[in-house]
Amino acid sequence: MKKTIILLLLATLQMIGAYAQNPTLARKVLDKTASIVGNRKGATARFTVSGSKIGSTSGAIAIKGNMFHASTPKATVWYNGKTQWSYLKSTNEVNVSTPSAAQRMRMNPYAFITLYKHGYNLGVTTKGSNYVVHMTAQNKKQAVQEIYLTVNSRSHVPSMVKMKENGSWTTISVTGFQAKSLSNGIFTFRQKDFPSAEVIDLR
């Protein structure tokens, strides 16, 4: 009897391990999530980001494909898919840059919708009514080394992104996701809206 129980436990553990490392299911979950989040018309949400190196802040975000517009009490960020403009209220400056994947993810929790497709090993487990997808970089020099993505198993809408960059973890919680029709114009900085701001090109 004891031998049977031990064998059953071992078999169960093996099944759990296999499921946790199931890259096919993980990619299926991410593909579905990316199709919803990456809605061609656009979407909006609220977010809170926290980390040991960056502190904590909350704000609102609008996304469309790989473009985004994020606003917090201290800053506003526009990204049109190539160029990023970051307006800092405290200095009245706009920094123009070409951001890395890690930099984009700090302000856009949905940046994973393209990140997972190349250079990451994928695994997945379940936690209550959610999938938790684990992404680990194949190249140790990758800017974002590791990601845990929590996704609702029914709606496939993400609620949390936890990423590791340079040994430090950042957690982004997301609420109030809504699909909306958004104009491409909101993802590009307009100088006329900030006539007194100093524009600094960091590219």
pLDDT score recorded for residue 9? 39
Supply angle C-alpha 45, 119, 27, rounded to 5.
Answer: 60
Residue span of the structural domain in which 15 resides: 2-201
Kindly calculate the radius of gyration of the chain based on its CA atoms and give it in whole angstroms.
19
pLDDT score recorded for residue 21? 67
If pLDDT is split at 50, 70 and 90, which confidence band does 44 have? very high
Mean pLDDT in residue range 186-200? 96
CATH number at residue 138: 2.50.20.10
pLDDT score recorded for residue 38? 79
Determine the 3-state secondary structure of 118 from DSSP. Answer: coil
pTM: 0.78
pLDDT score recorded for residue 10? 40
Residue 201 has pLDDT above 80, yes or no: yes
Q: Write out the E strands in 153-184.
A: 158-165, 168-179
If pLDDT is split at 50, 70 and 90, which confidence band does 65 have? confident
Mean pLDDT in residue range 113-119? 83
pLDDT score recorded for residue 1? 54
| Number of independent structural domains in the chain | 1
Residues 153-191: pLDDT tens digits? 999 999 999 999 888 899 999 999 998 999 999 999 999
Q: Which helix (H) or strand (E) holds 88?
A: strand 84-88
- Mean pLDDT of all residues belonging to the chain: 86
pLDDT score recorded for residue 18? 38
Residue 192 has pLDDT above 80, yes or no: yes
| More confident site: 199 or 16 | 199
How many percent of the chain have pLDDT more than 90?
64
Mean pLDDT in residue range 69-89? 94
